Amino acid sequence: MLGAVLHKAGDIRCEQVDDPKILKPTDAIIKLSASCICGSDLWPYRGLQPLGEPTHMGHEYCGVVVEVGSEVRTIRPGQFVVGSFCLSDNTCPHCRYGFQSSCVQREFMLGAQAPYARVPLADGTLVATEEMPSDDLVPHMLAVSDVLGTGWYAADAAQVKPGSTVVVVGDGAVGLMGVLAAREMGAGRIIAMSRHETRQKLAREFGATDIVSERAEEGVRRILDMTDGVGADSVLECVGTMESMDQALAVSRPGGTIGYVGVPHDVSFEGQRLFFGQRRMLGGPAPVRRFLPDLMDRVLKGLIQPGKVFDLELPLAQVAEGYKAMDERRAVKVMLRV
């Protein structure tokens, strides 16, 4: 079959790859209804993350089960399923505490930018719908598998509460989903930091009450002015750079909480600043599996439409253009149809 393979920085190709096979009795094979390109895929694409060998890309997925291993009990062929980018057994102590992304058997999904994919730990990773969703729901279900689940975790980790003031640092797909999550959790004020008009429009649609286009110290001053010098109750850090983390720390009030989900690159902390700043912090790889049943239900009931974050749809054969469009910020998030 054809699949997206990253050979080196800037070199992504749609080429022949092996068809997925059941390798362990806990595996499942699914036929992808759609796939997409993640912001985190851009790190190796830009050469900012080591790539030891050509890698079959893709970790966001939904589709129909076509085969299961002999030990799979809760998933069966013919079901529509959504899974997390973090593969988990959903039974270990970490999973039971709701941190499936730290499962003792954790693996990371690969190879989903293709027509078919192998999903290890299928029972613990995949969640099935009762009925086959209509095609118009596929983009929204696909968004649940990572980008919405990650934005939701940012808001959950930041302890967003009804009536609270929230700042979202980052206007990529995860940041926009963080805005949606904060709205769903009842935030009273949602300040999205964005300099791009199309992303500002989406942020407004997803629930942002205010937009701050300034960055760095100027952006911090603006938010402090807007909050009477206090800062935000909850801050969602959705980028992963030192600049974005600095902004998150600076706009959070003492006693506030930062939920950080941007994969960190060259981020470090100074002890005195943390000690006297008195901010709570929680983040890391999102335990999307914890949220899947609820988020899938919200989509199926028409309560949320996270798939609006996909502003460019391409066939898998044009995956290189999809990566380029996201790298050049001509697209927020690219959906691939196979």
Domain at 248, CATH number = 3.40.50.720
CATH number of the domain within which 118 lies: 3.90.180.10
Same domain, 299 and 212: no
Q: What is the distance between the alpha carbons of residues 131 and 197, in angstroms, rounded to a whole number? A: 38
Assess contact for 169 and 236: CB atoms under 8 A: yes
Same domain, 184 and 278: yes
- The count of domains in the chain is 2
User: Measured between alpha carbons, how far is residue 107 from residues 56, 206, 207, 214 in Å?
Assistant: 15, 32, 34, 38
Q: What is the distance between the alpha carbons of residues 265 and 252, in angstroms, rounded to a whole number? A: 21
Please give the share of the chain, as a percent, with pLDDT higher than 90: 95
Same domain, 120 and 211: no
For 212, the enclosing helix (H) or strand (E) is strand 210-212
CA dihedral 202, 205, 209, 213 (to 10 degrees): 10
Same domain, 12 and 127: yes
Can you give the pLDDT at residue 50?
A: 85
What's the pTM value of the predicted model, to 2 decimals? 0.96
Note the Cα 310 to chain centre separation in Å: 13
Assess contact for 5 and 57: CB atoms under 8 A: yes
pLDDT above 90: residue 338:
no
Q: Which domain holds residue 271?
A: 152-283
pLDDT in tens, 228-285: 999 999 999 999 999 999 999 999 999 999 999 998 888 998 999 989 999 999 999 9
Can you give the pLDDT at residue 49?
A: 84
Same domain, 167 and 249: yes
Can you give the pLDDT at residue 266?
A: 87
Helices (H), 93-215: 93-96, 122-125, 138-143, 149-157, 173-184, 197-206
